[in-house]
Amino acid sequence: MPELYSRMDSVNWLTPAIVDILDQGANPPGGTGSGSIREHMLTIQRELSDLETPARIVNVRSSPSYHLFVARPEMVGRMGNRRQVTAEDIEKSVEKIAEAHPDWTLGFMPALKGEDQAVGILMRTIDHRPQSLRRLLVRDTFRKHPATTAFTCGITLEQQVIIRDLAEIGHLLVAGKESARQHIVQGILLSLSLLNTPGELRLALAGETAKTHKVFAGIPHALGRLLSDAVAGQRLLQGLVKEVQRRQQALQEDHQRTLAEYNARQRERQRPELPRILMVLDSLSDAAWQAHEVELMPLVIKLLQEGSKVGVHLLITIDEFNTPDYLRSLHGLILTRLVLRQTAREIFKEVPVHRSQLRFIDAFLVEGRLDHRKDIRTVPIEICAISAVEIKRAIEYWRGNARQRQTEATTGSVLSSSVISGRTGVTGILRSQDAELILPRPPVPDKPAQRTLERAAQALRSEAPPAAPAPARRATVDETLRAVAPDARSLEIHKPNESPAALEASATLEAILPPTIEAPAPPPLNPAPTPTLTLAPADALNGSHAPAEETITADYLNADLQTRAIALAAYLGWLSVGALEDILGLPAATATLLVIELKRVGILENAETNTPRFVRLAQRQEDPGH
């Protein structure tokens, strides 16, 4: 189900909390006890009775933009000649009431879903503020939906939320002028990006008028830059067709029928899942794109026919619902359409919508095959509102999330060769310098030369003379670094010039060493024999030495080796078994045990990777139990 709080996916991407991104929006006016609403309700009842069409208002549904008065017609006439007031009678009376109150904006609904023998009277509120996206997402109807790929199309005049699942409908067609359809497209993109991580959903933007959605090209969901010209868009479509074929082959080889089944199998194997891809093509009505009809349309049709089965979806926009001949095939392949009111002239002729309702709706949801008119379902809806501030919050959240992940990942073992997880077959097509600037790869120190490693190991083997007895205290930064490198000149370790990571680790190491790590204390009167670290031969420094015969005691591991390893991690910005073998000359078994211990105390991230990511020491929470 869509999670309105933060949710972490299988590759550790964290979605934002809806409350942190979306504004609550305007509050609906009070209930029937509110002065203005009650006054309007009594006025309508009284004037309906005066017009000899009595009806009793049994319910009021309020929203920020209008009130819906649910009225139940009553009997009229004298004894022996009484009759039931019909919906047509009340409709005529509502028209007269509207003429008597020119400051009111009224509408009429001859029938209401779930209300037998009741009619609806719509009245626009004084402020007439639209519904906010947040108010629709927090409704139980949406929260109980089983899929995270669900999004809201809008709300009906009966104030029922209309929800569609991208995985079920496959593709979506939006018809309307540029300024009007921009709001719908951005609302869908915002909803899906809030509820899905980059590992679950990827976005591609193409088209001349898609520049209005350019801000979404800066989030980690985006496959790359926006492609406005038709030639570049053609290359993207070709790449998506190849991606569809690659996915079809993968599902066939794994004997899976759907993407959901394939990803479920991948989770069982602990392998990366395939993200869904949504391509926004805005718009096919542009003259520049129409000139490339011969090259573009076969690719679009191929994706419409086969893409949704393997998780590749299209959101296509056009200017008019009655498209030119070369676009008419879209209506037969896309069965879910959002048609803006200004372009829905043909729909008015076939949909039983009262003319007065047009003042309260923004679009029509048209579903079904147009060549089967009887099976077409058309629903008038009001579109929810989103603001530029909400979009900005979402963009800043995902950019910050991506930068944090990239900062933590100091090697390519955490992220793939693409900027983020969820690599697809078209990732390389859309890579741009902007994407690289957003998520810069962190510096990785070069491996020291062979001679330097040998000299470092030799220096670390040297035993310092016993110190005078002193109370246990915390080791200072200089003492800790000297424990790793007694002779800095002989080690010839070249630090990056003014490296922020190295400076920060050096400055904070003294303040945040674990409380269990103390400065080396003097040996007891009868100390147990301390194991000797034998310098491995030259080939062993490359990771091929045999395991040591001695057993490292826990006290020695915690007090001495752990201190050296922490200082080494602070210098490198990361730590692994290989680094401990190469620089400290430890056997593989001892290095593995030391990495496990550093994970336990919270110095290293507890991740099953070859090179564990190093958690910044300044952000580590001390655990008093360790």
pLDDT digits (tens, 9 = 90+) for 57-82: 999 998 889 999 999 999 988 877 88
> Tell me, what's the pLDDT at 4?
73
pLDDT in tens, 166-191: 999 999 999 988 888 888 999 999 99
**Whether the bond into 283 is cis, omega within 30 of 0:** yes
Tell which wins on pLDDT, 422 or 405: 405
Looking at residue 502, its pLDDT comes to: 39
pLDDT at residue 222, as a whole number:
93
Q: How confident is the model at residue 626 (pLDDT cuts 50, 70, 90)?
A: very low
Mean pLDDT of the chain: 75
Percent of the residues in the chain that have a pLDDT greater than 70, as a whole number:
68
Quote the pLDDT of residue 184. Answer: 93
Find the mean pLDDT for residues 411-431: 45
When mean pLDDT is compared over 236-245, 410-419, 565-574, the highest value belongs to 236-245
State both tokens at 148: 């995270």
- What lies within 8 Å, CB to CB, of 153 at 6+ separation is 162, 163, 164, 338, 365, 381
Q: How confident is the model at residue 148 (pLDDT cuts 50, 70, 90)?
A: very high
Asked if pLDDT for residue 532 goes beyond 70, the answer is no
Band of the pLDDT at 411, cuts 50, 70, 90? very low
**Tens digit of pLDDT for each residue in 576-622?**
777 787 777 788 888 888 888 888 777 776 655 433 333 333 333 44
Question: For the CA atoms of the chain, what is the radius of gyration?
Answer: 34
* Rounded average pLDDT over 11-25: 90
> Stretch 355-375: mean pLDDT, rounded?
85
CB 588 within 8 Å of CB 595: no
Please state, in angstroms and rounded to a whole number, the distance separating the CA atoms of residues 519 and 464.
13
Q: Is the pLDDT of residue 542 over 70?
A: no
d(CA 390, CA 23): 7
- Report the distance separating Cα 482 and Cα 495, nearest Å: 15
Indicate whether 94 pLDDT > 60.
yes
pLDDT given at position 263: 92
Q: What is the pLDDT of residue 50?
A: 93
pLDDT over 70 (residue 243): yes
- Residue of higher predicted confidence among 574 and 422: 574
Q: What is the pLDDT of residue 473?
A: 45
* Distances in whole angstroms, Cα of residue 187 to Cα of each of 134, 161, 386, 388: 11, 14, 7, 11
| Least confident among 155-159, 330-334, 361-365 | 330-334
pTM: 0.66
* Region 134-152 average pLDDT: 91
Name the 3-class secondary structure at 276.
strand
Class of domain 35-124: alpha beta
Q: Is 171 helix (H, G, I), strand (E, B) or coil?
A: coil
- What is the SS3 string spanning 202-219? EEEEECCHHHHHHHHHHC
pLDDT beyond 80 at 477: no
pLDDT, residue 578, reads: 74
Contact 330, 168 (CB under 8 A): no
pLDDT for residue 130: 86
* DSSP one-letter string for 46-85: HHHHHTT--EEEEEEEE-SSEEEEEEEE-EESSTTS-EEP
Average pLDDT over residues 337-364: 81
What span, in angstroms and rounded, lies between the C-alpha atoms of 151 and 149?
7
* 268-323 pLDDT tens trace: 988 889 999 999 999 888 888 888 889 999 999 999 999 999 999 999 999 887 76
Q: Is the pLDDT of residue 474 over 60?
A: no
Binned at pLDDT 50, 70 and 90, residue 450 comes out as low
pLDDT value at residue 460: 53
Q: Where are the domains of the chain?
A: 18-22+131-403, 35-124, 410-434, 450-619
State residue 610's pLDDT score.
39
What pLDDT, on a 0 to 100 scale, did the predictor assign at position 345? 73
Residues 244-254: tens digit of each pLDDT:
999 999 999 99
For residue 518, name the pLDDT band (cuts at 50, 70, 90). Answer: very low
pLDDT of residue 127: 80
For residue 570, what pLDDT is reported? 66
- Domain 18-22+131-403: give its CATH architecture: 3-Layer(aba) Sandwich (3.40)
